[in-house]
Chain A
């Protein structure tokens, strides 16, 4: 099941959002990982320069820092969403360009003339973490 999930996520994870990372070769992954165990840990460990590994790392960053307001599925319904007006953005519906989203993440909402509730993450997250997070965000977009 995990193999199917990962491969499906990999297939879905396409589009202009992804930068320089290469794609995971499913056959290689099956060979490198234990039979039937092509899980997140295996991909991150053995295929760290692939989009799929970046998305997995980005999801971890998201779950640590963003989920509070944007919610588990990125729909803007996190447990702290009620504190904010305007409410946190439904990230699955975003169509904004990658550079713009990166700036919002780094500088925060207020600096970008958006909601003040979005803090600036530039001091907290590394460039790699932000890149991974953007890759994750692109993977949950409805409009690819």
Chain B
């Protein structure tokens, strides 16, 4: 039993250790990146640097989420756990759009 659990534990710990964090800023009603390539398990932090609210969300099948509206100086994080293309938008500012490509 131990022989099975131990390798699984090591594998999960090592993949978590390899995961990267990325920062996407929201400034002047625009995302700081139009596109971003990350790996499965990586985290993206969406920071609001504008003096008004933003509301980041995605309707993509790969990862749908809604971070709610939050003010300047705040940030929220999303872990991307499946590969594929994720289109990210702001519900308050429809012109704000970016794409995150999550690779295996």
Contact = CB atoms under 8 A, between A and B. Distances in A.
Interface string B51-78: 0110101010000111011000000000
Interface in B27-70: 52-53, 55, 57, 59, 64-66, 68-69
A68 interface: yes
A2 interface: no
A80 interface: yes
A108 interface: yes
10 closest Cβ pairs, A-B complex: A119-B69, A123-B52, A83-B66, A119-B55, A119-B92, A116-B68, A68-B91, A124-B92, A120-B53, A119-B53
Nearest to B94: A64
What DSSP secondary structure best describes chain B's contact surface? strand
Contacts of B68: 116-117, 119
Contacts of B65: 83
11 contacts: A65-B92, A68-B91, A68-B94, A84-B66, A119-B53, A119-B69, A119-B92, A123-B53, A124-B52, A124-B53, A124-B93
A80 B94 contact: no
Given A65-B94, A124-B93, A80 B57 contact: yes
A65 B91 CA distance: 7
B66 A80 contact: yes
Interface of B: 52-53, 55, 57, 59, 64-66, 68-69, 91-94
Contacts of B91: 68-69, 80, 119
Given A64-B94, A80-B66, 20 more contacts: A65-B94, A68-B94, A79-B59, A80-B57, A83-B57, A83-B64, A83-B65, A83-B66, A108-B53, A117-B66, A117-B68, A119-B53, A119-B55, A119-B68, A119-B91, A119-B92, A120-B69, A121-B92, A123-B52, A124-B53
